[in-house]
Amino acid sequence: MKESFELMTLGRFIDALEKCDPQSNIYFDFCGFVPTEFFSYRGFYDQLALGFDNLQKNVADILGLAREAVGKSFEGWKGGSFTMSSNTPIWVSLPSACFGTGIFAVKDTGLSVIIMTRHFDV
Averages of pLDDT over runs of 10 residues in the chain (122 residues) are: 76 98 98 96 95 96 98 94 98 93 97 96 78
- Decide: 27 and 116 in contact? Cβ < 8 Å: no
Instruction: Output the pLDDT for position 122.
Output: 73
Nearest-angstrom CA–CA distance, 46 and 14 = 18
Residue 61: CB atoms within 10 A of its CB come to 16
